[in-house]
């Protein structure tokens, strides 16, 4: 329990550091003094609504804003901005309002793209998702996926972008197998390794990964953390399942957005709601 607690604390520290100091391939940004570039997006498709049976009645989209399919990552958005950019820095940040909750406003990218009722999830809506759903991990098309299953048995899938994050190595044998260039820091009892590539141990692939999502609240972000091992037979095991809303003032950085639909059924949404999401094997 002590080791796990230390690791969770370390992950929380890495969450802050990873946004402000690290560059993850294709997913995060650099310091405000350095330009961060992202590849151009392909043509996106409109999300399909999934009713998870949440207490609030909120429906979640089956894909991120800007995603070309359920299995693609999508676009990256700064807080209060409704378009992606090639560079995310303080110099390119255009949002000047003092609004601290942009849900449903002109600054909400989901509302602008899809219309009334659609919005970026608030911190409370993310908390409801995390607290009301069961969380499982899987690998689809060699990509790590967080599966959230609601009270009614329906699910949404949030893909982890390729990234670098720190993982605890609990024994010296595994520590020796990791190249010196990947070592980040060593505490009294643990070694933390920056996994920019997969680590192999006893025939098992071990991966530390995270996904960070924008909330409609300026000073919070949603974070999903996982330590995942994949055995030779394809079995996926997870030694850490952690989905939380974190306090953060990283408004200028480009972050993924998974939209929700909030309005009551004053008009039919049955044509856009599906029972199951079909994913490739």
Per-residue pLDDT of 73-109, as tens digits, reads 889 999 999 999 988 888 999 999 999 999 999 999 9
pLDDT value of position 174: 43
Q: Is residue 165 part of a domain?
A: yes
pLDDT value of position 200: 56
pLDDT value of position 73: 84
Most confident of 103-107, 169-173, 192-196: 103-107
Give pLDDT tens digits for 33-62: 233 344 344 566 789 999 999 999 999 999
Give pLDDT tens digits for 247-278: 988 899 899 999 999 855 433 343 344 444 44
- 239 sits in the region (left: phi over 0; alpha: psi -120 to 50; else beta) called alpha
Q: Is residue 139 part of a domain?
A: yes
Q: Is residue 228 part of a domain?
A: yes
pLDDT value of position 202: 55
Residue with the larger pLDDT of the pair 190 and 31: 190
From 134, 132, 145, select the one nearest 279 (Cα to Cα): 145
Contact criterion met (CB below 8 Å) for 238 and 227: yes
Give pLDDT tens digits for 200-252: 555 566 666 778 899 999 999 998 887 766 676 767 676 667 899 999 888 99
pLDDT value of position 162: 61
Q: Is residue 118 part of a domain?
A: yes
d(CA 178, CA 194): 10
pLDDT value of position 210: 75
Distances (CA, A) of 179 to 42, 174, 176, 198, 223: 36, 10, 8, 12, 28
* 31: pLDDT strictly greater than 80: no
What is the average per-residue pLDDT within 195-199? 46
* Per-residue pLDDT band at 183 (split at 50, 70, 90): very low
Contact criterion met (CB below 8 Å) for 190 and 7: yes
Count the domains in the chain.
1
* 179: pLDDT strictly greater than 60: no
Q: Is residue 272 part of a domain?
A: no
* 20: pLDDT strictly greater than 60: no
Give pLDDT tens digits for 109-163: 999 999 999 999 999 999 999 999 999 888 777 677 889 999 999 999 998 776 5
* 196: pLDDT strictly greater than 50: no
Q: Is residue 6 part of a domain?
A: yes
Backbone dihedral angles phi then psi of residue 242, each to the nearest 5 degrees: -145, 115
Q: What domain range includes position 207?
A: 2-263
* 28: pLDDT strictly greater than 90: no
pLDDT value of position 230: 67
Q: Is residue 270 part of a domain?
A: no
Q: Is residue 126 part of a domain?
A: yes
pLDDT value of position 72: 83
């Amino acid at each position: 329990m002590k080791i796990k607690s230390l690791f969770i604390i370390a992950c929380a520290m890495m969450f802050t550091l990873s946004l402000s100091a690290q560059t993850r391939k294709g997913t995060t940004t650099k310091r405000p003094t350095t330009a961060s570039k992202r590849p151009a997006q392909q043509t996106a498709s409109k999300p399909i609504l999934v009713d998870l049976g949440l207490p609030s009645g909120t429906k979640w989209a089956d894909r991120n804003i800007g995603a070309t399919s359920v299995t693609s990552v999508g676009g990256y958005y700064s807080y209060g901005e409704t378009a992606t950019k090639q560079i995310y820095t303080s110099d390119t940040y255009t949002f000047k309002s003092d609004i601290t909750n942009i849900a449903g406003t002109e600054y909400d990218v989901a509302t602008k793209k899809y219309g009334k009722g659609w919005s970026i999830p608030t911190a409370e809506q993310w908390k409801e998702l995390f607290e009301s759903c069961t969380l499982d991990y899987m690998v689809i098309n060699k990509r790590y996926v967080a599966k959230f299953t609601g009270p009614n048995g329906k699910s949404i899938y949030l893909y982890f972008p390729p990234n670098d994050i720190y993982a605890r190595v609990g024994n010296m044998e595994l520590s020796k197998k990791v190249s010196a260039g990947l070592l980040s820091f060593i505490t009294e009892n643990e070694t933390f390794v920056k996994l920019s590539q997969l680590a192999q141990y006893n025939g098992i692939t071990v991966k530390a990964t995270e996904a960070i999502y924008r909330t409609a609240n300026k000073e919070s972000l949603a974070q999903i953390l996982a330590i995942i091992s994949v055995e030779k037979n394809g079995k996926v095991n997870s030694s850490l399942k952690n989905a939380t809303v974190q306090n953060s003032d990283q408004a200028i950085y480009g972050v993924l957005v998974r939209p929700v639909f909030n309005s009551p059924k004053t008009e039919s949404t049955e044509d856009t709601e599906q029972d199951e999401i079909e994913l490739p094997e």
